[in-house]
Amino acid sequence: MPPPESFSGASSGAGSATPTLAGPPTTVPPADTAALAGAEGAATAGERAQRLGWGAKLAIGWLVLVVAAALLAPVLPLDDPYEPVGAIARQGPGTDGHVLGGDSLGRDLLSRLVWGARMSLLISVTSVLLGMVLGGLLGLLAGYFRGRLDKAFVGVFDVLLSFPQLILALTLVTVYATGEGVSSTRRITVLIFALGVVSIPVLGRITRATTLTWSQRDFVHAARAMGARNRSIMFGEVLPNVLPAMFSIALLGIAVVIVAEGGLSLLGVGVQLPTPSWGNIIAEGRGSLRDAPHIVLAPTVAIFLTVLALNYLGDVVRARFDVRESAL
Amino acid sequence: MIGRRKQVTAVADAPPAHGRRLLEVEDLATHFVTPRGLVRAVDGVSFSLERGKTLGLVGESGCGKSVLSRSIMGLLPSNVERHGSVEFEGQRLDQLGPAELRSFWGTQIAMVFQDPMTSLNPVMRIGRQITEPLRFHFDMDRGQAEKIALSLLESVNIPEPARRLRQYPHELSGGMRQRVVIAIALACGPKLLFADEPTTALDVTVQAQILELLRTQQRERDMAMVLVTHDLGVVAGHTDEVAVMYAGQIVEQAPTRTLFSSMRMPYTAALLQSIPRLTNASHTRLNVIAGRPPDLLDPPPGCRFAPRCPYAQDRCREEQPPLIEADEPGHLYRCWYPVGTDEAREALERNLAAHVPQAELAVSGDMTRAAEVEAALEGAGAAAGPAAYESDGSAADGPDGTPADQADASADESDGSSGDTAGGTEASSGPDGAEVEIGGSD
């Protein structure tokens, strides 16, 4: 695990939520702290955070750290991730004050890791959001109206799920964003879209299943008996109850997509070099695994910890949601 | 006070040419299309209701009383066939489209559901749940709607109403929640309120308060009410007229006083007898109606109560009795051998002579034989097994209540497990459950 002090610039951003990881004072204003915690979603202020277990606190701490580092990459005192600095190619952590050492071309690995976090998170979060919006909408409609619409949408989900997900994404990226003259932006957009399509059926199915149970509740009948329209029942009454389940799956989804992006990079259709992402740092460092294992190890550990934290938090959210449901 | 504020629908402005008459239901039938066939949940029901009056709809679980009220409103799933006519203030509700019906729901007709635990949205503040219908029916702004919500909560006797508006349902007790549910139903000033077992999920002391609340609200607003219940005690104290339902039909209907003074239908009489008396000695066996309601997929050809009736003759089993008027005005019943007549006495004697089990049970009151009778009836009507009944029950009436299980429960008590095997349903309600439920009515 990368030592926390290596991210000291960002770690105090997590100060209030994760006292254990609080680093030396920095220039990050407190307002940003709240915004970051909010963006993280799982980190809530006040009493709720007090009741979280150690595991959840550590998970939130790590995620806040990663998100803060990713967001603040341009202002952090890091080397240029695109230019070699000195003779540190393949040199291990600590060489010449470069905390994680250099990559195979002599660029600062820490800098590439932080900028890579930016790219990996951008891709995973937006593609899962895309899946959440589209899959959620389809699932909500299917679960609420049932009947033929439900059968059709579930059919779509099943078909999408029956493709091996990596192959589906690989195909989409290969068809729409490979070859000469494909810009980096286009590649990233298509990646997001491809991974979003992959997460539609997963989020769609969980939304549908949860909607099915919630839309049978009496308060839905009661709202109908008061003359409410389907639209307002669906979005006003049912959706707020379905969101916790969607959210817990979305957290797991982000984890899956981070790994999937790594896989696509290894297959050569991830984010285009020299733009770093966790996946393509691994792909690039693969060649020097024998003499410079730290190049592959650093992003791998970052992915491992992030995926672990997301999975753990996903479970925490689900547990919370279940408890609340049974209490009613 | 709220109902007079603003009328949005065209219907509301229609002249009251039909006088005091508010609701007229004519030969209403509601059939569920299921993979196993047509479930006749409501089968040819007619009645009318005047403004400001209360009709009690009584019957066992699965007799179609909940479906009837939803059917009148038009709040039914799509696998339903509905025939007959429903007229509300001269307007045929059964011919309206979904959008037109929506303008009636809430503002003209509203409904209070059985379980206040599930009829409020757990993630929405009370205030928003009350103001929402006001805002979309009357186009009010937030401030106006909140003022009305506050006065509504006051009128249903909720302490600290301003604080409650900002609370979530789980912060309130069951009785409090049912008051909120009632406040929501009353919000848009309906002229007709369906109360679908509004007190079943509440404990006995709260039941009385809620019924009293409904009564005062109804008087203040000149609102008609259909009170759906399985509790004859509730009906006796809180209704002007009673309709007793059995297997999807009205089997007896009369002004409340008349019904209790001179009931004609053996089923009504049996229901009344199954209420435990406070004057009974402790550990008295509870009276039961042996057997269970018929399979609504394939109801018996004659009188539907015949298989369980102590007076039943061959004619009852072959020919369905019509709903005929008794000597008293407005008293209708559906029986060939009405209670209290010489024919009925003769019929009972014939049955006793022939050792018809349910007749002997009814006369002797010897509940140790209940399980035996139960088994005999199950054998006779084996076509409708327990499983068949179970699914009908859920289709027709939802998972409410225990009265149908009452028979089982007491049978269990009398004869250990044999009643259980005959009954086939769980007896978790137990004799105590039945006692509490009915006991509140006395």
Q: Which value does ipTM take for this structure? A: 0.70
* pLDDT at B365 (0 to 100): 60
- Distance between CA atoms of residues A91 and A111, nearest Å: 15
**Nearest-neighbour CA in chain A from B116: distance (Å):** 9
B368-419 per-position pLDDT tens digit: 555 665 666 555 544 433 333 333 333 334 344 334 344 343 333 333 333 3
Cβ B32 vs Cβ B395: under 8 Å: yes
Q: Which of B32, B232, B228, B222 is nearest to B111 (CA)?
A: B228
Q: Which of A45 and B32 is assigned the larger pLDDT? A: B32
Contacts with B114 from chain A: Cβ below 8 Å: 218
Q: How confident is the model at residue B442 (pLDDT cuts 50, 70, 90)?
A: very low
Q: What is the 3-state secondary structure (H, E, C) of B172-197?
A: CCHHHHHHHHHHHHHCCCCCEEEEEC
Q: Which of A246, A247, A245, A258 is nearest to A308 (CA)?
A: A258
What distance in Å separates the CA atoms of residue B354 and residue B282, rounded to the nearest whole number? 33
Residue among A216, A226, A239 with most chain B CBs within 10 A, to mutate = A226
Whether residue A218 lies within 8 A of chain B, CB to CB, comes out as yes
Task: Indicate which of B9, B79, B100, B119 best probes the interface with A, i.e. most A CBs within 10 Å of its own CB.
Answer: B119
Find the CB nearest A221 among B75, B78, B133.
Answer: B75
Q: How many CB atoms lie within 10 A of CB A90?
A: 17
CA distance A24 to A34: 18
DSSP track, A36-92: HHHHHSS---THHHHHS-HHHHHHHHHHHHHHHHHHHGGGSS---TTS--SS-TT--
Q: How far is B172 from chain A (nearest CA, A)?
A: 11
CB A222 to CB B188 under 8 A? no
DSSP 3-state of B52: coil
Positive/negative CA dihedral, B261, B266, B272, B273: positive
Collect the ranges in chain A with pLDDT lower than 50: 1-50, 323-328
Q: Does residue B29 contact residue B44 with C-beta atoms inside 8 Å?
A: yes
Q: How far apart are CA B356 and CA B45, in angstroms?
A: 31
- Judged by CB atoms closer than 8 Å, whether chains meet at A328 and B122 is answered as yes
State yes or no: pLDDT of B75 exceeds 70.
Answer: yes
Residue with the two structure tokens 């019904």:
B259
Minimal CA separation from A256 to chain B, in Å: 29
Q: From the list A222, A224, A228, which residue is nearest B136 (CB)?
A: A228
**Alpha-carbon gap, residue B250 to B226, rounded angstroms:** 14
| Average pLDDT, integer, range B324-337 | 87
Residues B89-142 have pLDDT tens digits of 888 888 888 888 888 888 889 998 888 888 888 888 888 889 988 888 888 888
Q: What are the start-end ranges of the H helices in A215-238? A: 218-225, 230-232
Cis status, amide bond into B293, omega within 30 of 0: no
Name the strand (E) or helix (H) holding B44: strand B37-50
Rounded CA separation B198/B184 (Å): 14
Residue A129 in tokens = 């959001």
* Residues belonging to chain B with any Cβ–Cβ distance to chain A shorter than 8 Å: 73, 75, 78, 102-107, 110-111, 113-115, 117-124, 132-133, 136-137, 169-170, 181, 184-185, 187-188
- Nearest CB to A225: which of B73, B118, B170? B73
Strand partners, B332: B253, B325
The verdict on a CB contact (< 8 Å) between B123 and A240 is: yes
Inter-CA distances, A293 with A107, A273, A279, A284, B67, Å: 15, 20, 15, 12, 71
Set of chain B residues whose Cβ sits within 8 Å of the Cβ of A223: 121, 132
Dist. CA B419–CA B402, nearest whole Å: 16
Q: Given this model, what pLDDT does residue A111 score?
A: 84
pLDDT at B369: 57
3-state secondary structure of A117: helix
pLDDT of residue B198: 86
Q: What is the mean pLDDT of residues B56-65?
A: 86
Residue among A226, A228, A240 minimizing CB distance to B124: A240
Q: Which residues contact B124 (CB under 8 A, 6 or more apart)?
A: A237, A240, B168, B169
Rounded to an integer, what distance in angstroms lies between the CA atom of residue B307 and that of residue B293? 9
Residue B282, helix vs strand vs coil: coil
Task: Tell me the per-residue pLDDT of B243-261, one tens digit each, with 9 for 90 and over.
Answer: 999 988 899 999 998 888 8
What does the DSSP 8-state code read for residue A13? G
pLDDT at B254: 92
What is the rounded CA–CA span in Å between residue A292 and residue B233? 85
- Give B64's Cβ-side CA count (13 Å radius): 29
A240 in contact with B at a CB cutoff of 8 Å? yes
Are B149 and B127 a contacting pair, CB within 8 Å? Answer: yes
Q: Give the sheet arrangement for strand B21-34, strand by strand.
A: B37-50, B21-34, B80-88, B91-92
Rounded distance, CA B361 to CA B359, Å? Answer: 5
Distance CA B312, CA B358 (A): 10
Nearest in space to B98 (alpha carbons), one of B127, B123, B77: B77
pLDDT, tens digit, for every residue of B262-318? 888 888 888 888 777 777 777 777 777 777 778 888 888 888 888 888 888 888 888
Mean pLDDT estimate for chain B: 77
DSSP code of residue B245: E
Top residue of A217, A218, A235 to mutate, by most chain B CBs within 10 Å, is A218
Q: What's the confidence (pLDDT) of residue B80? A: 86
pLDDT digits (tens, 9 = 90+) for B341-362: 888 888 888 888 887 777 777 7
Which stretch of DSSP H or E encloses residue A166?
A: helix A165-177
Q: Is the pLDDT of residue B8 over 80?
A: no
The answer, as to whether pTM is greater than 0.90, is: no
SS3 at position B92: strand
Q: What is the pLDDT of residue B55?
A: 93
What pLDDT is attached to residue B57?
92
Two structure tokens written together for A115? 């900028």
Nearest chain A alpha carbon to B119 = A219
Contact A219 B118 (CB under 8 A): yes
CB contact under 8 A, A225 and B110: yes
Tokens of residue A256, six digits: 């899956």
| Closest to B55 in 3D by CA, of B230, B240, B203 | B240
Contact A164, A229 (CB under 8 A): no
Element of type H or E holding B265: none
How far apart, in whole angstroms, are the C-alpha atoms of residue B193 and residue B53?
A: 11
**B133 interaction partners in chain A (CB closer than 8 Å):** 226-228
Cβ count within 10 A of residue A126: 18
Question: pLDDT (tens digit, 9 = 90+) per residue, A298-327?
Answer: 888 988 999 899 888 888 887 777 644 443
